[in-house]
Amino acid sequence: MSGIHLFVPMLHVRDAVGEHTRALRDLLVAEGVDCRIYIENPDPNTVHETRHYLEYEDDAIAGDVLVYQMATRSDMVAWLAGRPEPVVVNYHNITPSEYFAPWNNWIARHQALAVLELEDLAPTAALGIGVSTFDADELRRCGCPEVVVVPVANVRIPPMTPDPTTLATLRGPEGEGGPRWLSVGRLAPNKAHQDTIAALFIARATTSPDARLTIVGSPSEPAYARALRRYAAELGMHGAVTFVSGISDGALAAHYVAADVLVMLSEHEGFGVPLVEAMSHGLPVVAFAAGAVPEVVGDAGVLLEEKGPRHVAQELAALIDDPARRESLVVAGRARPAALGLDRAGSDLVAALLDVAGRAPGVSAVPGSDVPVRPAAPLSH
């Protein structure tokens, strides 16, 4: 029986691409489609649910469709480009290498090569799927002949219930503390967490002496993560900036619920899952309008065209001190995931892949081909 198989360089848990891949696998299996995840480098946490991509050569069946989850470079790409099966590029964006160059030359080189790989693979892809219009435009510029936009499939709708213990700890005694800023995202240079720390410094020196910031994210680039800690320390904010990583989904939900505002000053976002997670939890969003952020936030958050620390601090203070505006953003934010089509993203993605499978030779062997296929709907916003 032919199938639709997913290829990703590494499958991580609590990682945007990893969770999207696992969610897509589950959706396809639920549709009766044979689906396996193939990787290049094993992650100990997921090794039991993956196979090495070279093993696919023994598993291949006529009519298979191969879906590559692209966000970084991999030897898989050259191999996929040489395969006879239709290849779908599910593109999650490649962070430009100049963000990493001052911190880690190896990763910078990796990212530069990934761009070359995208340029090689995109023109031959049976379909390109961008998780945002921003990503889809890049796919088109790189020569992908057919592109659709389907957002990520792993955003929980409705949102996760907060972990009560974490929530109680975060909230502390009634009335304690000042405004609680939250920033969620890997500690990677394109996320520009330092700009949020600088804005907090200004806020504490001017409008909000008790403001605090929690940064939730794994130290994706250790040198950058270390510099962030040192920066906060040098600015005298030992106790005001807290770094958190490796927490459960429930604990993350508690952070969203306990905070007063989500601040995202990232300079390059292919989608921005924390934005929709925050909005789902009723947390107002203040974000720098870069990459896919404007299309994801829409009019449900505060979009900043510039992010000087004083300007950011003033915008945050103005929002926190204006309950009516906050409430209107909360209402708009809760409706935003549905407006983005996140509630149907999984089924749209499956439909798009089954459509490709339907065009593939040997399609009669795919059980999913018996399922009525509807075309993938582009994002409506």
Partner 1 sequence: MCAREVEVTAEDSGTPEEQGDNPRSGLSADERGLLEAFDRLRPQGSLGWHFDDTVRRLVEPPQFQGRPNGWAGLPADLWERGRGTKASERVLGDVVTTVAQDLSEYTDRAVDESYQRTEDALGELRRTVFDAIRFLAARVERLESSVDPLGMEAAEFDLPAMDASAWFDDAPTWAAARSDLPVLLGELADDGLLAALVASGTGVEGVDPRGPVVWAANAAFDVGNGKAGPATAIAEVIDYLRALPGASRGCVVLAGCVDRTDIAGKVDLIDEARRVVAPGGALVVLVTEQSAWDASVAPVVRDLLPGRPLHPETWQAVLEQRGLRGATWHRPTSGSVHAVVSEVGR
Residue numbers of the site for partner 1 (CB under 8 A)? 94, 96-98, 101-103, 105-106, 108-109, 112-113, 115-116, 118-119, 138, 141-142, 194-195, 197-198, 201-202, 205, 222-223, 226-227, 229-231, 233-236, 238, 306-310
Q: How far is the CB of 54 from partner 1 (least distance, A)?
A: 22
Closer to partner 1 by CB, 79 or 231: give it: 231
Closer to partner 1 by CB, 311 or 344: give it: 311
Closer to partner 1 by CB, 194 or 245: give it: 194
Q: How far is the CB of 339 from partner 1 (least distance, A)?
A: 27
- Phi, psi at 113, each rounded to 5°: -70, -35
- Phi, psi at 217, each rounded to 5°: 175, 145
* Neighbouring residues of 264: CB distance < 8 A, sequence distance ≥ 6: 183, 184, 185, 191, 272, 274, 275, 285, 286, 287, 288, 293
Q: How far is the CB of 111 from partner 1 (least distance, A)?
A: 9
**Residue 195 and residue 287 in contact, taking contact as beta carbons nearer than 8 Å:** no
Closer to partner 1 by CB, 65 or 312: give it: 312
Q: How far is the CB of 238 from partner 1 (least distance, A)?
A: 6
Q: How far is the CB of 266 from partner 1 (least distance, A)?
A: 14
Closer to partner 1 by CB, 260 or 267: give it: 267
| Alpha carbon distance 101, 107 (integer Å) | 8
Closer to partner 1 by CB, 227 or 247: give it: 227
Closer to partner 1 by CB, 24 or 232: give it: 232
Q: How far is the CB of 20 from partner 1 (least distance, A)?
A: 20
Q: How far is the CB of 103 from partner 1 (least distance, A)?
A: 6
- On the CB side of 118, CA atoms within 13 Å amount to 30
Tokens of 289: 């309008």
**Residue 65 and residue 4 in contact, taking contact as beta carbons nearer than 8 Å:** yes
Tokens of 4: 């639709």
The sign of the CA dihedral 265, 268, 273, 279 is: positive
Closer to partner 1 by CB, 61 or 101: give it: 101
Whose tokens are 């490796």? That residue is 246
Q: How far is the CB of 144 from partner 1 (least distance, A)?
A: 11
Is the link from the previous residue into 323 a cis peptide, with omega within 30 of 0?
Answer: no
Closer to partner 1 by CB, 207 or 347: give it: 207
Measured N-to-C along each axis, helices 345-359 and 16-30 cross at an angle, to the nearest 10 degrees, of 70
CA 117, 122, 127: angle at the middle one, nearest 5?
140
Q: How far is the CB of 115 from partner 1 (least distance, A)?
A: 5
| Alpha carbon distance 328, 283 (integer Å) | 11
Assign residue 57 a region (left: φ > 0; alpha: ψ between -120 and 50; beta: otherwise).
alpha
